[in-house]
Amino acid sequence: MGTVPLEALHQAIRAAWSADTSAASDWTHSNPAKGQCAVTACVVHDHLGGDILNSVAALPSGETVSHYFNIIDGETVDLTTEQFPEHTRFSEPAPKTKGFGSTRDYCLSYERTRQRYELLRRRVAEHLGD
C-alpha cells in the first residue's frame, strides 16, 4: 500500500468513473463524481490504506445523502466531494458498520456496490498499468 502517489491515483480514478460505476441514476459527464463515493473510497483504501468514514451531506435543497471518504494518516482524503453543490453541509464523520467489521465491509455487503467497486478497481488498475 502507498506505492501509488495520491494524485496519480486520483487521475486514474477520475478516468475510470462512468455511469456503470455510479450509484446515481442521473450520473452525467458534467458531474462525474456523483454517486461514486463508496466505490472510490474502497479503491483508495486498496492503495493507500487508512479508514473509510461516513457523513451525511445536507444539500442546499434540503435533500440528505450518505457520503463516504477516506482518512489516511489523520488527513481527510475525499476524491468525490466535488459532486456536491456549494453550501452543502456535512455531519460529523463516523464509521458506518451496521454490524460489519468495517465501513468498507458494510459498503461491499451490497451486491450492486460490490459490482461497481470491482469494475472501478479493474479500470483503475488498467489506468495505473497494474
SS3 105: helix
Q: Is residue 113 part of a domain?
A: yes
Domain of residue 99 covers: 6-128
Q: Is residue 62 part of a domain?
A: yes
Q: Report d(CA 49, CA 79) in Å as an integer.
A: 15
Q: What's the confidence (pLDDT) of residue 73?
A: 96
State pTM to two decimals: 0.96
CA distances (Å), origin 45, targets 29, 42, 105: 25, 5, 12
* Number of structural domains found in the chain: 1
Residues 6 or more apart whose CB falls under 8 angstroms from that of 26 comprise 34
Q: What's the confidence (pLDDT) of residue 130?
A: 78
Q: Is residue 1 part of a domain?
A: no
Q: Is residue 100 part of a domain?
A: yes
The set of cell numbers assigned to 99 is 454490524
Nearest to 84 by CA among 119, 117, 37, 39: 37
* Strand arrangement of the beta sheet that strand 89-90 belongs to: 75-77, 64-72, 51-58, 89-90
Tell me the pLDDT of the chain (130 aa) as tens digits.
658 999 999 999 999 999 999 999 999 999 999 999 999 999 999 999 999 999 999 999 999 999 999 999 999 999 999 999 999 999 999 999 999 999 999 999 999 999 999 999 999 999 999 7
